[in-house]
Amino acid sequence: MPSDESVFSAAVGILYVTCPLIFLYLQFCTVPYGRHARPGWGPPLPPAAAWFLIESPTIWLTLLLLPHGRHLSHPLALAIISPFLLHYLNRTVVYPIRLLRSGTKAGFPLSVAAVGFCFNLLNAYAQTRSVTHYAHYPPAGDVGWWIWARVAAGLAVFLWGMAVNVSSDLALLRLKNTAGGGYKVPEGGWFELVACPNYMGEAAEWLGWAVAASTPAALAFFLYTCANLFPRASSHRRWYLQNFGHRYPPSRKSIIPFVF
């Protein structure tokens, strides 16, 4: 039976290996949910149920693993794992509730939800074991100010990204309500600069978290996030241009203002 350390190393390795593969795959295929939904990907789930299923391992598996971490009570581990749980509390509980209230009815393919569930199972294990067990921390009383400064800077970026992510998701749900369940051109705030400020915010979250954690697992998660969200943001921008034509400002980038 493989040791926990070998399983952990394999999990982190899988994250790194799949980054370029998923990025290349998404250049040719847009994952079929939301505005890109299309038949042929299995039975549909209600969107709220799908998102709860997809994101749930990041809550229950993380909480199951926490007591087994040798650094569980270390202040750095607590400072780093807490925002991870905060993000996924929003994604697992708050966001599905908002979807229910919004009346969103477009089906979410079970096959896509299953892949998302498996990824979060792998990632929750890798990140939780990394932060609470395998990371190398100085003794709690000897943590230098420069380490806390790095963690604080990373978490500041994380919190800014989460604020952008949550507020943008909420704006899109409200806009969908006014469109009778359809789509409109979003306006105001970061939507004036990019097609997907919600994705921009999420990428910023995991960049900040990777800086705060400074572990190979956290870096792998950030790279995977970019490999997944950058192509999807590009697909969103193309979709807006195809469906709204001149009504959609062509100057808006996909996910990074003025750049991409």
pLDDT digits (tens, 9 = 90+) for 129-187: 999 999 999 999 899 999 999 999 999 999 999 999 999 999 999 998 886 667 899 99
pLDDT at 106 over 80: no
Is 28 part of any domain? yes
Q: Which domain holds residue 82?
A: 4-247
Residue 45 β-bridge partners: 108
CA 6 to mean position of chain CA atoms = 26
pLDDT at 181: 64
Within a domain: 142: yes
pLDDT of residue 178: 82
Looking at the 3D structure of the chain, how many domains does it have?
1
Each residue's pLDDT tens digit, 183-219: 899 999 999 999 999 999 999 999 999 999 999 999 9
Q: What is the pLDDT of residue 4?
A: 95
- Domain assignment present for 140: yes
Mean predicted lDDT score pLDDT of the chain:
96
pLDDT beyond 90 at 46: yes
Q: What is the pLDDT of residue 177?
A: 82
Say how many C-beta atoms besides its own lie within 10 A of residue 223's C-beta.
19
Residue 8: what pLDDT? Answer: 99
Question: Is residue 258 in a domain?
Answer: no
Evaluate whether residue 205 is within a structural domain.
Answer: yes
Rounded to an integer, the average pLDDT of 78-107 is 93
34 vs 197 pLDDT, higher one: 197
Q: Which of 76, 90, 220, 214 is nearest to 159 (CA)?
A: 90
- What was the pLDDT predicted at 1? 85
Q: Tell me how far CA of residue 2 lies from CA of 81, 102, 217, 225, in angstroms.
A: 26, 46, 19, 28
The model carries a pTM of 0.96
Q: What is the pLDDT of residues 225-248, one digit of tens each?
A: 999 999 999 999 999 999 999 999
Instruction: Give me the pLDDT at residue 33, please.
Output: 94
253, part of any domain: no
Measure the CA–CA gap between 175 and 123, rounded to whole angstroms: 32
